[in-house]
Each structure stands twice: as C-alpha cells, then as structure tokens.
Amino acid sequence: MKTLSLGIFLAFICSFCFAQNKLTDKLTYDLAIASDVKSRVKIMAELCYEYRHSKPDTAIRYGQQAIDLARRIQYSNGESSALSSVGFVYRGLGDLQKSLSLQQLALSIAGHNIKSDEAAKALFGIGTVYVDLKDYSKSLNNYKKALSIYQLNDNRKKVAILLVNVGNVYEKMNRLDSALYFTNKGYEQMSELASMSEKPYALRVLSTIYIKLNKLGIALNTSRMGVNEGIKEGNIRDQGFCHYLIAEIYKIQNQKDSCIYYAKKALHFASICNYKLVIIDASMLLAELYEEKDSKEALYYYKIAKTTNDEMFGATKILGLQKTMTEEKERQNDIETKRVAKENQLRQYALIAGLAILLLIAFILWRNSQKEKRAKKLLQAKNVEIQSTLSQLKSTQAQLIQSEKLASLGELTAGIAHEIQNPLNFVNNFSEVSVELANELQEALRQRGIEANSNEGELVSDLIQNQEKINHHGKRASSIVKGMLEHSRTSTGLKELTDINALADEYLRLAYHGLRARDHTFNSDFKTDFDESLPKIEIIPQDFGRVLLNLINNAFYATKGVKNPLVEVRTKRAENGVVISVKDNGSGMSEATKSKIFQPFFTTKPTGEGTGLGA
C-alpha cells in the first residue's frame, strides 16, 4: 500500500511540475505590470477563478485582495466579479452555504446592470450550488439566464463553459440526448479557443454520459483524455474526477484491482484541492471494494466519506443553507415590493401627465375645429370648381380612350391583313387544288389495281390528310382575320346573346396573331380552360372584345423575357354571373404599380408602346 501511495504521489508531482497553465502564467504577468487599479481588480478576480481547481488557498487570497481593492475604489463591477470567483472556490471546497451567500451578494451588487458579464457570472455560480443541492430546475433556470447574457455580450469562452454545465445538469436528470448535445457543443467551442482550463471538465461530463449510455470503451478513452487535459491545463480537480470515472468503468467491468488503483488516485487528487464531492464518491467506492477482503481498510475509507459528507451536508450546513436561501428569498421579495411600489408611482405620474396631455389635446382640437369651419367654406367653393373640371376631364378621357383603341385596332388590322392575308389566300387555294389532285391520284392507283393498304396507297392517303389539315387551318386563320376586321368596325351599341367561351377564344387568338404580326421575335404558349356549362349572355360584343383584347395583349406583353412564357384564359360560372380570368407567368406588378393601375395615362410600357388607357 505504501508503494502504491508513493507511486500516486510521484505521478502527481510529475504532472503538477510539468503542467503549464498558460492562462494563469499570463494573468500573473499581466498583474505584475498592470498600473490601472481597476485592471488589477479584474486580473485578481480572474486568477481567483482560474486557481479554484488546483490551488484553492491561493485562489481565495487573490479573490479577497480583489474584493478589498474594489471596495476601496468603489468599483462595483470588480467587487461583484471577485465575490463570485471566491464563491466558486468555496463551492469546490464543499462550503455550499458560503458559496451561495457570496454569489447572491455578487448578483445584488451587479443588479444595476443585470445584462453585464458580472451578473451572468453570479447566476452561473448560483446554478452550480443548486446542482450540488440536486435542485436541477433552479440550476437550469440560472444557467440559462447566464447563457443568454453571455451570448448577448458575445463572450464565447463563457458560452462554451455554460453549455457544458447545462449538459451536466441534463445528465444528472437522465436526459442523456440533451446532455450529449449541449456538452458536445460546448466542448467543440472550447476546442476552437486558446487555453481553456475547463476542457477536462467537459471531457469528464462526456465520460459520465457515455457510462450511462453503456459505451464503456468511449467513456474510458474520454476519461483518459480528461486526465491528460487536466495535466496540460493544471486542473487538479478534474484530474481527480476523471480518475474516479476510470475507477467506475473498471468496477462495471469487474476489474477490482484497477478500480482500487484509480479510485485511490482520484481520492489523492481530490484531497490535494479539497474537492469534497470526489472525496466522498472515491472513499465510498473504496469502502465498498474493501468490504469483502479488508474490513479495516473499508472502515477507514467509510469514515473519510462520512466525515466529508458531514462537512458538506451536515445538519449545521443544511440549516445554514436554508437560512441563506430564506434571506435571499426575503431580499428578492423586498426587491419585488420596491419594484411594484415604483411602478405604481410611475403609473400615478403617467396618469397626471396623461390628463395634462388630454387637456392640451382638447384645446388643440377645439382650435382646429374653428379653423376647419372656416376652411370648409373655402373648400365648398373650390369643390364646385373641381367638380366642373373633373367632369370635363372625364369626358376628354373617354374620347381619348376611344380614339386610342380605334387607332390601335386599325394598326393591328392593317398589319395582319398586310402580313397574312395574301399568303393565306395562296395556302387555301393551293391546298384545295392539292386535295383534288391527290384524290385523282388515289383513283388512278385504284384503277391500276393498287390497293389502299399498299405503300403507295398509304402515301397518297397521308398526302390527302395533310392537305386537308392545311386547308382546315388556313380557313381557321382566315376566320381570325375576318374577326379582326369585324372588331375594327364601330360598335352598334346593341346587346346581343353571345357565347362567352367563343368570344374569349377568338380574342385570345386575335391578340396572339396580332402580336406575332407586329413582332416576328415574339412567341408564347397559351391555353384555355372554359366552363362548357356557361349560358349565352347579353353583351355588346365589340366593346367587350376590346376589353378582353387589351387585357390579353397586356398579359402577353408581361411574359417577354420569361423562359417558358404562358398565358391562360379561364371562364367559370359564378353565383350572379360569369367570371373571366386572364393569367400570365410574367414578373408581376410591384405594390407601387398596383396603386396606380386605375390612374388615367399611367403606363409601364416604353414611350410609343402604351397610352395608359387600357393598352
């Protein structure tokens, strides 16, 4: 046993001597050269926090110096940070009452700036105490408040630490998926940063999760990584904890000698930094292991565990904790009472101010009403003049619309007649002649005894069908030209029973061919979806056709530049009439354009292409 103890001691001496905590070295150097008093307070508070795992006495000394200096210069943020750092040290030493008191005092001092890093640090410290008290809901509540503040202030180091601590709480609550998510996330962020003395802590939390997930191989490797990181960062506390986890793994694997070896190492490291939680767990594990083979040793370790447990959770400590928590609750109630009183006072001030504002508004409204009465008389005279001008404008507008429509239609009709009619006549005439010639050829073949199902017969039959299709579509094109010519005539003003589907189809094709006649580069697909159950309705076909033509023309215009342009025309029976819709897949209209679509003379087309009166 002496040989084993000596081996453990030598291992510790080696790890301690060669461990290089670059952060504490840098902070010690910064403290030596710092001339600003506030900077010295901050550095000493940080040294206190960094030494909490390895040198608790040194940590408390730095923390107390920081507190005294901050109070002397009345530096509240520095005092709050230093009090919180010392609170972390006492938590590691197992004095939960003192730790909680210091953290609550730190929070009350930082209360004037609740979104500061100092407030977040105190909330973090309070959360750690509640973890030890197994009040995990309060712990999570404080951790998440601190985390939101650190994220707001972009403190990446503290965010990483808090994420691991949240993962630790979820592990204790056996919510292992959440525990693994937050711990991995925190450890990944730690790995991206420079020196992080909390890396061993993250690794031992991960190892604990893997043990619960029964992934013992991963847990063992993670614990050993934690030991190595602890040596590297000079973190004695988590070296002890990781050794304890290794012992737990060997216990599960029923390797008792290895379990005893690592449990003693864990107890040794925990004793150096007086980390009572690991002292209790390691001592209880050793007592359990020695119970069968050496009752004297088992009793020895059991006494260590009991003594340490009484120091942390004895009746006196529990009473002190209850007193501290009660005092804090009373303090919070007092703060809440003062807050409510202040809010009530502010409400009274607001009410008085509101009454004064209402009186002022009433006076302004009365004065404005007097001005309004005088203005109304002037407006009435102006209104008569405006109405007269508006009537003249509407009359002029109607005349302009009609003349523009007629001019546009005349241009369209002339273009189509010039471009299509002559070649269309040739197509129709020669297709009819070709059909007659093909029929004569078919008769001649039959007289020669060549059957219709022979190769020659089938070719002649196909030729006849093709010529008939050419003739059919040529006549259809002629009907479109005829419809355009009818459209150009002056409206009679008489309503007629009209097939809406036929009218919509006619003007769709009229618009398409008209645009093709004017612009050979124009091309677009179009399709129809007509409700065949529509009845004929009484309308003025020419006037209604102009509306459809302009609407469809604009739809085709909107598809310019679109990869696969498409215009759709639909009809549908409605409750009290018929709905005709025209849809395109163009770029659409902006909100500014929509607000002006009924404004006379407004157009988005280039000069010379549109009038703003329907086209």
pLDDT at 356: 84
pLDDT at 44: 94
Cα separation, 184 vs 181, in Å, equals: 5
Which range is least confidently modeled, 93-102, 333-342, 496-505, 522-531?
333-342
pLDDT tens per residue, range 395-438? 677 667 755 665 565 566 656 665 676 677 778 778 788 878 88
E strand or H helix at 567: strand 566-574
Residue 566 lies in a domain: yes
Cα separation, 87 vs 207, in Å, equals: 27
- Average pLDDT over the chain reads 82
Is the C-alpha dihedral spanning 186, 187, 193, 197 positive or negative? positive
Residue 101 lies in a domain: yes
pLDDT at 493: 67
pLDDT at 15: 42
Q: What does the block give as tokens for 294?
A: 């050496």
Residue 173 lies in a domain: no
Residue 509 lies in a domain: yes
pLDDT at 206: 94
Q: What is the CATH number of the domain that holds 114?
A: 1.25.40.10
Report in angstroms the alpha-carbon separations of 604 from 519, 566, 582, 608: 19, 20, 19, 11
Domain count within the chain: 2
580: containing domain: 492-615
Residue 404 lies in a domain: no
In the listed set 74, 94, 119, which residue is the last one of a domain according to the structure?
119
pLDDT at 10: 39
What are the φ and ψ backbone dihedral angles of 573, each rounded to 5 degrees? Answer: -70, 135
HEC readout, 436-476: HHHHHHHHHHHHCCCCCCCHHHHHHHHHHHHHHHHHHHHHH
Residue 590 lies in a domain: yes
Cα separation, 239 vs 230, in Å, equals: 5
E strand or H helix at 187: helix 176-192
Query: Does residue 67 surpass a pLDDT of 60?
Result: yes
What is the average pLDDT across 117-122? 92
Residue 174 lies in a domain: no
Q: What is the CATH number of the domain that holds 537?
A: 3.30.565.10
Query: Does residue 320 surpass a pLDDT of 90?
Result: no
Query: Does residue 492 surpass a pLDDT of 80?
Result: no
Strand partners, 572: 579
- Counting DSSP H helices and E strands in the chain, the numbers are 22, 5
pLDDT tens per residue, range 558-579? 888 888 899 999 999 888 889 9
What is the average pLDDT across 223-248? 89
Strand partners, 579: 572
What is the average pLDDT across 580-585? 91
In the listed set 96, 119, 142, which residue is the last one of a domain according to the structure?
119
pLDDT at 63: 94
pLDDT at 316: 58
pLDDT tens per residue, range 263-286? 999 999 988 888 888 898 999 989
Q: Write down the pTM of the prediction.
A: 0.50
Nearest CA among 195, 196, 146 for reference residue 169: 146
Residue 408 lies in a domain: no
In the listed set 94, 119, 144, which residue is the last one of a domain according to the structure?
119
pLDDT at 235: 83
pLDDT at 612: 59
Angle of CA points 392, 395, 396, to nearest 5°? 85
